[in-house]
Amino acid sequence: MTAPDPDGLLAEQLLRLTRRVHRIQKRHLEHRGLGITPAQSRLLRTLAHYGSPPRMADLAERLEVVPRAVTTLVDGLETAGKVRRVPDPANRRVIRIELTDDGRAALRELRTARRSAAEEILAPLTDEQRAVLGVLLDTLIDGPDDDRGHRHTA
C-alpha cells in the first residue's frame, strides 16, 4: 500500500474549491439577471482596471487569451450595451474598448454578486479561520520568496 499524497490531496481540494466558487458565482450572476457570462464578467472587470480604453490586443494579453476570444466577448458586450468600440485619438486605424454607463452599472452588480458568493462560501468559517485563510491565500498568491528572502507583493 502506498502512502497518501498530501500535495495531491491539496491540489484536488483547490480544484474542487475553484469549481465550487465558479458555480456559486455563476448562480449569483444568473439570479441578478444581468445576462453576462463569467467570461464577459472577467473582461468587464479587466477593462475597469485600465486608466484609458485599451486595445483589443491589450485585453487579450491581460486575459491571456487569443485576440479572437476577446473579439467574441466584446461583440456580445457591445450588443448588450455594456462596452463600445471607439477610435484611438492618435491613430484612427486603432480601435479601443471602453465601458458604457450600462457597463459600469453592470460592474457594480457583478461586484455585489461576487461579494454574495464569497459570503456564501465563507459562511462556515469563524472570524479567526477567515483571518488564517486570508494569510494562507496571500502566501499562495504572492508566490515563493525571492532570492533575498523577501515575499513578493502585488
pLDDT tens track for 46-57: 999 999 999 999
Confidence at residue 36, expressed as pLDDT on a 0 to 100 scale? 87
pLDDT at position 147 is: 46
Rounded Cα–Cα distance for residues 140 and 142 (Å) = 6
- For residue range 96-131, what is the model confidence (pLDDT) as tens digits? 999 999 999 999 999 988 898 899 999 999 999 999
**pLDDT of the residue at 33:** 80
Q: What are phi and psi of 99, to 5 degrees?
A: -70, 145
Query: Which three-class secondary structure state does DSSP give residue 55?
Result: strand
Note the pLDDT of residue 103.
96
Coil/strand/helix, residue 1: coil
Mean pLDDT over the full length of the chain: 88
